[in-house]
Protein backbone atom coordinates (compact mmCIF):
# COMPACT_ATOMS: atom_id res chain seq x y z
CA UNK A 1 0.00 0.00 0.00
CA UNK A 2 2.99 2.32 -0.17
CA UNK A 3 1.75 5.40 -2.08
CA UNK A 4 -1.83 4.30 -2.54
CA UNK A 5 -4.73 5.76 -0.63
CA UNK A 6 -6.00 3.32 1.98
CA UNK A 7 -9.80 3.05 1.78
CA UNK A 8 -11.25 2.58 5.27
CA UNK A 9 -14.84 1.89 6.24
CA UNK A 10 -15.90 2.29 9.88
CA UNK A 11 -19.17 0.68 10.98
CA UNK A 12 -20.03 2.02 14.44
CA UNK A 13 -23.30 3.30 15.89
CA UNK A 14 -21.59 5.52 18.51
CA UNK A 15 -21.21 9.07 17.15
CA UNK A 16 -18.49 9.94 19.67
CA UNK A 17 -16.44 6.88 18.75
CA UNK A 18 -16.77 7.72 15.05
CA UNK A 19 -15.52 11.27 15.68
CA UNK A 20 -12.53 10.09 17.76
CA UNK A 21 -11.67 7.52 15.10
CA UNK A 22 -11.71 10.17 12.37
CA UNK A 23 -9.62 12.64 14.39
CA UNK A 24 -7.12 9.91 15.30
CA UNK A 25 -6.61 9.06 11.63
CA UNK A 26 -6.13 12.73 10.76
CA UNK A 27 -3.21 12.76 13.21
CA UNK A 28 -1.55 9.74 11.57
CA UNK A 29 0.65 10.15 8.54
CA UNK A 30 -1.27 7.67 6.43
CA UNK A 31 -2.83 8.55 3.09
CA UNK A 32 -6.44 7.45 3.55
CA UNK A 33 -10.11 8.02 2.96
CA UNK A 34 -12.70 7.09 5.57
CA UNK A 35 -16.34 6.34 5.02
CA UNK A 36 -18.55 5.83 8.05
CA UNK A 37 -21.84 4.02 8.56
CA UNK A 38 -24.04 3.84 11.66
CA UNK A 39 -25.24 0.24 11.60
CA UNK A 40 -24.93 -3.13 9.93
CA UNK A 41 -27.66 -2.54 7.38
CA UNK A 42 -25.90 0.61 6.15
CA UNK A 43 -22.61 -1.30 6.03
CA UNK A 44 -23.97 -4.06 3.83
CA UNK A 45 -25.81 -1.58 1.60
CA UNK A 46 -22.58 0.41 1.16
CA UNK A 47 -20.59 -2.71 0.21
CA UNK A 48 -23.22 -3.87 -2.27
CA UNK A 49 -23.56 -0.49 -4.01
CA UNK A 50 -19.91 0.69 -4.04
CA UNK A 51 -18.30 -2.26 -5.78
CA UNK A 52 -15.91 -0.10 -7.84
CA UNK A 53 -14.06 1.19 -4.78
CA UNK A 54 -14.50 -1.37 -2.02
CA UNK A 55 -12.69 -0.59 1.21
CA UNK A 56 -9.32 -2.17 1.84
CA UNK A 57 -10.06 -2.33 5.54
CA UNK A 58 -13.28 -2.39 7.57
CA UNK A 59 -13.33 -1.49 11.26
CA UNK A 60 -16.40 -3.31 12.53
CA UNK A 61 -18.17 -2.64 15.83
CA UNK A 62 -19.92 -5.71 17.23
CA UNK A 63 -22.79 -4.05 19.10
CA UNK A 64 -24.79 -2.16 16.48
CA UNK A 65 -28.53 -1.84 15.91
CA UNK A 66 -30.42 -3.35 12.96
CA UNK A 67 -27.70 -5.89 12.14
CA UNK A 68 -24.84 -6.53 14.54
CA UNK A 69 -21.18 -6.83 13.66
CA UNK A 70 -21.04 -10.61 13.86
CA UNK A 71 -23.97 -10.92 11.43
CA UNK A 72 -22.17 -8.53 9.06
CA UNK A 73 -18.89 -10.43 9.39
CA UNK A 74 -20.60 -13.71 8.47
CA UNK A 75 -22.36 -12.09 5.50
CA UNK A 76 -19.19 -10.39 4.23
CA UNK A 77 -17.13 -13.58 4.50
CA UNK A 78 -19.92 -15.49 2.75
CA UNK A 79 -19.59 -13.28 -0.36
CA UNK A 80 -16.67 -14.13 -2.62
CA UNK A 81 -16.51 -10.61 -4.05
CA UNK A 82 -15.54 -9.28 -0.61
CA UNK A 83 -12.68 -11.73 0.04
CA UNK A 84 -10.01 -9.08 -0.48
CA UNK A 85 -11.33 -6.85 2.33
CA UNK A 86 -9.52 -7.03 5.66
CA UNK A 87 -11.77 -6.79 8.69
CA UNK A 88 -10.72 -5.51 12.10
CA UNK A 89 -13.36 -6.00 14.77
CA UNK A 90 -13.38 -2.76 16.78
CA UNK A 91 -15.36 -3.25 19.97
CA UNK A 92 -15.69 -2.38 23.64
CA UNK A 93 -16.10 -6.10 24.36
CA UNK A 94 -13.12 -8.06 25.64
CA UNK A 95 -15.14 -11.25 26.11
CA UNK A 96 -13.23 -14.33 25.00
CA UNK A 97 -16.45 -15.62 23.40
CA UNK A 98 -16.59 -12.55 21.10
CA UNK A 99 -12.90 -12.80 20.24
CA UNK A 100 -13.12 -16.52 19.43
CA UNK A 101 -16.34 -16.19 17.46
CA UNK A 102 -15.07 -13.35 15.27
CA UNK A 103 -11.77 -15.16 14.68
CA UNK A 104 -13.57 -18.34 13.64
CA UNK A 105 -15.79 -16.38 11.22
CA UNK A 106 -12.87 -14.78 9.39
CA UNK A 107 -12.03 -11.42 10.98
CA UNK A 108 -8.36 -10.50 10.54
CA UNK A 109 -7.86 -8.54 13.77
CA UNK A 110 -9.64 -7.82 17.01
CA UNK A 111 -9.16 -4.42 18.63
CA UNK A 112 -10.64 -3.57 21.98
CA UNK A 113 -11.53 0.12 21.93
CA UNK A 114 -9.00 1.87 24.15
CA UNK A 115 -9.96 4.27 26.91
CA UNK A 116 -7.64 7.10 25.85
CA UNK A 117 -6.90 8.95 22.64
CA UNK A 118 -3.14 8.30 22.61
CA UNK A 119 -3.69 4.55 22.75
CA UNK A 120 -6.34 4.81 20.04
CA UNK A 121 -3.84 6.47 17.69
CA UNK A 122 -1.22 3.83 18.46
CA UNK A 123 -3.66 0.97 17.87
CA UNK A 124 -5.00 2.41 14.62
CA UNK A 125 -1.48 3.08 13.36
CA UNK A 126 -0.49 -0.50 14.19
CA UNK A 127 -3.67 -1.86 12.58
CA UNK A 128 -3.13 -0.11 9.25
CA UNK A 129 0.63 -0.58 9.22
CA UNK A 130 0.27 -4.33 9.67
CA UNK A 131 -2.95 -4.97 7.76
CA UNK A 132 -2.86 -7.66 5.10
CA UNK A 133 -5.19 -8.93 2.46
CA UNK A 134 -7.05 -11.77 4.15
CA UNK A 135 -5.49 -15.16 3.77
CA UNK A 136 -7.31 -17.55 6.04
CA UNK A 137 -4.47 -20.07 6.21
CA UNK A 138 -1.97 -17.46 7.42
CA UNK A 139 -4.24 -15.89 10.03
CA UNK A 140 -2.80 -16.98 13.38
CA UNK A 141 -4.85 -16.85 16.55
CA UNK A 142 -1.81 -15.54 18.47
CA UNK A 143 -1.69 -12.43 16.23
CA UNK A 144 -5.44 -11.82 16.19
CA UNK A 145 -5.90 -9.60 19.28
CA UNK A 146 -4.14 -6.33 18.50
CA UNK A 147 -2.65 -4.56 21.49
CA UNK A 148 0.02 -2.04 22.37
CA UNK A 149 2.90 -3.46 24.38
CATH code, 117: 3.40.50.2300
Look at residue 91 and tell me if it is in a domain: yes
Query: What range does the domain containing 53 cover?
Result: 6-146
- pLDDT bracket for residue 127 (50, 70, 90): confident
Q: Is residue 116 part of a domain?
A: yes
* Confidence band, pLDDT 50/70/90 cuts, at residue 141: low
Evaluate whether residue 61 is within a structural domain.
yes
Question: pLDDT value at position 76?
Answer: 97
Look at residue 69 and tell me if it is in a domain: yes
Mean pLDDT lowest for which of 8-12, 47-51, 75-79, 145-149? 145-149
Structural domain count of the chain: 1
- Host H or E run for residue 87: strand 86-91
Q: Is residue 97 part of a domain?
A: yes
Residue 1 lies in a domain: no
- The answer to whether the CB of 18 falls within 8 A of the CB of 64 is no
Residue 72 lies in a domain: yes
Whole-structure pTM value: 0.90
User: Per residue in 73-96, is it b (16+ CB within 10 Å) or e — as a string?
Assistant: beebbeeeebeebbbbbbbebeee
- Tell me: the pLDDT tens digits for 102-126? 999 999 999 999 989 999 999 998 8
Angle at 30 between CA 72 and CA 82, to 5 degrees: 25
In a domain, 110, yes or no: yes
pLDDT in tens, 59-104: 999 999 889 999 999 999 999 899 889 999 999 998 999 999 999 9
Amino acid sequence: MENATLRILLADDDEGDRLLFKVAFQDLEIKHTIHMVNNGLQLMEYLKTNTEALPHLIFLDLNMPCKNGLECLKEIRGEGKFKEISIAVYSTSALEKDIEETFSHGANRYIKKPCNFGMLKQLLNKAVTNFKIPQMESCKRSDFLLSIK
